Amino acid sequence: MFNWMKTAMLMAAIVALFGMIGAALGGQQGMLIALGFALVSNFFAYWFSDKMVLRMYNAQEVDEQSAPQFYRMVQELAGKAGLPMPRVYLIDEAAPNAFATGRNPEHAAVAATTGILRVLSERELRGVMAHELAHVKHRDILISTISATMAGAISALANFAIFFGGRSDDGRPANPIAGLLVSLLAPFAAMLIQMAISRAREFEADRGGAEISGDPQALASALEKIHRYAQGIPLAPAEAHPETAQMMIMNPLSGGGLASLFSTHPATEERVARLMAMAGPRA
């Protein structure tokens, strides 16, 4: 419940940022233009983001004939979660990772790299795919898509404001210093909020995935193993499209410095600790 409340507050904050930069760009009229821009962006993302990301990763759809063991695993877990059977994809990449996409449970897809199938045991892989199905069940894909689209739109509007300046409601030029500060800081704040939303949703998906699979210890083991392997094996599509990193079960991008602040995922150690607490004394 706490993470749901946190997500709602963060989404409200990113909408407020959108209004702020719209006002800096053109007063009340600018806010309306910004809102219209956001609606158009989100409409496009809602309908087409799944096709775009699957194409970015050159994901190939599989069925019970082409990947029987993997397909039946997803089928069994979807049944346990009370979800419609999603489309199932494999990505020919050595880096171990997985993600879910789609605008709702009826139009969802789950994808895994061939690397994760090689690295994990069957029990661990079940935990990972249960995690992805938890994202589907919680409709996290829609939330993350909207937050990413809003953050991108804020950046686009900020660039517009920097180059063309802002106007107040009566048409006079806005305070240039205030407008510049808003234009520079709003995209940065939007990025931080987007990443915080992503981290909150990952904790919820870990919990939901552990409940679906009935094996939190297996998911904890999978996260530790993916973390070890992913550090040394780059995921080329994610490097080319870093905006998709938040979709993965493990952050595929390498980075240093203020890692915890700028990461799209919680620390693996904290995720594992929470899962092991769910597993109880028997773990």
Give the residue numbers marked as catalytic. 132
Query: In the structure encoding, which two tokens stand for residue 108, read together?
Result: 């969802």
User: What residues have CB less than 8 Å from 39, skipping those under 6 apart?
Assistant: none
Query: In the structure encoding, which two tokens stand for residue 80, read together?
Result: 């346990």
| Neighbouring C-alpha atoms within 13 Å toward the C-beta of 190 | 28
* 47/205 Cα distance (integer angstroms): 23
Candidates 136, 273, 262; CA nearest to 199 is: 262
- Indicate the SS3 state at residue 256: coil
- Pairing type for strands 109-113 and 60-62 reads unpaired
* 183/101 Cα distance (integer angstroms): 31
DSSP state of 90: E
Candidates 122, 115, 146, 150; CA nearest to 249 is: 115
Q: How many CB atoms lie within 10 A of CB 15?
A: 15
* 202/264 Cα distance (integer angstroms): 9
Candidates 125, 136, 130, 122; CA nearest to 80 is: 130
- Indicate the SS3 state at residue 88: strand
